[in-house]
Amino acid sequence: MTSELYQNGLIGFQLVLLTWIVLHDLRTLIVPNRYVYPAIVASLVAIAPLGLGVMTNVWLGAVATFAVMLAVAIVGRGAMALGDTKVGAFCGAIVGLQGIVPMLTLTFIGGGLISLGLVAARVRHRSDAIAFTPFLLIAVVATLLMLGGPSA
């Protein structure tokens, strides 16, 4: 099995897991640790056969994304849930270090615009919770397409 085939299979599996997490979040507005932690650990371990360079890229992507989203959660005083920061780490592991800037940019712009639109249309109030993970999923897919595939 080639490393490209392995990596593409891993990305496909990660996207299935992320979709499962998003669907749960949409239904309940909760991101269960029992889904997120195994997804993160599996991603960080499963990348090892691809070598130290790819592994470093993935690990740094996960850590950097978690750090940025944790800072937003702390500064926003609850505007973003900690579950979203953990899913962010998972997403960072999917796109790798070079993908976190476009992924986070697309996530926050998309989430912000949709939220503003819902408030402007009086569908939601400013204080209402909205699932953030769908924006992460869309941004991960868009980032992978922009980068031409998984991190290498």
* CB-count exposure of residue 21 (10 Å: 0-12, 13-18, 19+): buried
Mean pLDDT of 125-131: 73
Tokens of 40: 């993160």
Structure-model confidence comparison of residues 129 and 101, the more confident one = 101
Indicate the angle between helix axes 82-95 and 33-46, nearest 10 degrees: 20
Query: Which own/partner contact pairs does 117-123 have at CB distance under 8 Å and 24+ positions apart?
Result: none
Chain segment 72-86, per-residue pLDDT in tens: 999 987 778 888 999
Mean pLDDT of 100-124: 87
Q: Where are the domains of the chain?
A: 3-147
Q: What mean pLDDT is reported for the chain?
A: 90
Chain segment 8-65, per-residue pLDDT in tens: 899 999 999 999 999 999 999 999 999 999 999 999 999 999 999 999 999 999 999 9
pLDDT range class, residue 110, cuts 50, 70, 90: very high
Tokens of 13: 């599996």
- % of the chain residues with pLDDT over 70: 93
Spatial contact of 92 and 140, defined as CB atoms under 8 Å apart: no
Tokens of 37: 């932690």
pTM, entire model: 0.90
Predicted local distance difference test score (pLDDT) of residue 152: 47
Cα 101 from Cα 126, distance rounded (Å)? 26
